[in-house]
Amino acid sequence: MSTTPVRLRSKASWLVNQAATVAHRLAMDEFARSGARRYHYGILAAIDENGPSSQATLGRATGIDRSDVVAVINELADAGHVERAPDPADGRRNLITLTRTGAQRLQHLEGLVSETQDTFLEPLDPAEREQLTRLLARIVEHHHG
């Protein structure tokens, strides 16, 4: 029996925060076992979906702070997952491109994320998982859109 007050357990914002804490821990543990960070996944996914991008664009697309984007791109470049090249439209900035190794790494991380989602959403059936995801996306879009 939970000792958490009903007043808290009946508030969506409190429940979302508690669920986010669990999801974050599960993801961090899984990424750590693979020698990755969640930011690696976000940056690789953004480049894969949007094509070569500037660091600023990647930061906006992923919600990662500008200074963290630089560090993550450095880590990914050192591992051979991304390449920097001058932007032909603006020589003052670089475009970050996914390499073949980076695409393979993204595929591996995508598997980890899927496993983490399954663990996190284990108590829900497939329809409930889809509904929860859709509702949360609607809330996020409303407040960030």
Q: Please, which residues have CB within 8 angstroms of residue 55's CB and are 6 or more apart in sequence? A: 66, 69, 70, 73, 93, 94, 96
pTM (two decimals): 0.86
pLDDT over 70, % of the chain: 99
Does residue 142 register a pLDDT over 90? yes
Q: E-assigned strands of 5-131?
A: 82-87, 90-98
Residue 1 is predicted with a pLDDT of 61
Distance CA 39, CA 108 (A): 14
Domain ranges of the chain: 37-144
52: left (phi over 0), alpha (psi -120 to 50) or beta: beta
Range 37-144: architecture per CATH: Orthogonal Bundle (1.10)
In this structure, what token pair is assigned to residue 101?
């190794």
